[in-house]
């Protein structure tokens, strides 16, 4: 396993406990985390090189184009039903996901997989970039909101940036 920088470990710790993720953000996060881990393993090359490597990997076809990685998350969520059977409990963020939200998860997953599962390298690149950019936008807004919270300002996981900046 690759030894990642402290900034990546801080980010990974933060993403597990942060609350308020929408369904699409949870799915975009899977793509962003995969890209950031590869980027770190590659020695932090320019973003375009990391994305090209990411979309050309066998794992991309096996896990993202097929939707298997997203389905794994849905399956993990289904394994933690609430006691009253009204939804599912997300232990890390201490949130509850309703049955209706889980159905939306499946619809969003299909939509994202449709964009990722193209044979065109250019379209795959655009899709990965777009989803990572959308995730980054949400994450930076959330981090900004948390930085203003006086009770969290000295938290180890709170910093205003993400390890990998998605820019054009």
Q: 100 pLDDT exceeds 60?
A: yes
Count CB atoms within 10 A of the CB of residue 56: 12
Least confident of 101-110, 128-137, 159-168: 159-168
pLDDT at residue number 158: 57
Could you tell me if 116 and 128 are in contact, meaning their C-beta atoms sit under 8 angstroms apart?
yes
DSSP state of 98: E
- 91 — pLDDT class (breaks 50, 70, 90): confident
CA distance 94 to 90: 5
Domains of the chain, residue spans? 6-148
- Residue given tokens 């375009």 in the structure block: 48
- 150 — pLDDT class (breaks 50, 70, 90): low
Least confident of 45-49, 77-81, 115-119, 126-130: 77-81
pLDDT at residue number 1: 41
What is the pLDDT averaged over residues 107-129?
95
SS (H, E, C) the chain: CCCCCHHHHHHHHHHHHCCCCCHHHHHHHHHHHHHHHHHHHCCCCCHHHHHHHHHHCHHHHHHHHCCHHHHHHHHHHHCCECCCCCEEEECCCCEEEEHHHHHHHHHHHHHHHHHHCCCCHHHHHHHHHHHHHHHHHHHHHHHHHHHHCCCCCCCCCCCCCCCCCCCC
pLDDT in tens, 65-83: 999 999 999 998 889 888 8
pLDDT in tens, 133-149: 999 999 999 888 877 76
* Helix H or strand E segment including 60: none
Q: Which of 159, 125, 130, 154 is nearest to 142 (CA)?
A: 159
Within 13 Å, how many C-alpha atoms sit on residue 74's CB side? 20
């Amino acid at each position: 396993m690759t030894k990642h920088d402290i900034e990546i470990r801080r980010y990974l710790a933060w993403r597990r406990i942060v609350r308020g993720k929408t369904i699409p953000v949870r799915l975009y996060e899977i793509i962003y985390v995969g890209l950031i881990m590869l980027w770190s393993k590659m020695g932090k090359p320019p973003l375009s090189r990391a994305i090209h490597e990411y979309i050309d990997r066998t794992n991309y076809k096996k896990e993202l184009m097929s939707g298997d990685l997203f389905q794994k998350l849905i399956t993990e969520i289904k394994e933690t039903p609430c006691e009253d059977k009204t939804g599912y409990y997300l232990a890390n963020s201490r949130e509850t996901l309703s049955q209706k939200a889980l159905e939306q998860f499946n619809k969003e997953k299909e939509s994202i997989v449709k964009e990722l599962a193209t044979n065109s390298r250019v379209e795959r690149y655009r899709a990965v970039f777009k989803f990572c950019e959308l995730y980054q936008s949400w994450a930076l807004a959330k981090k900004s909101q948390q930085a203003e919270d006086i009770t969290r300002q000295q938290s180890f996981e709170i910093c205003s940036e993400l390890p990998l900046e998605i820019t054009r």
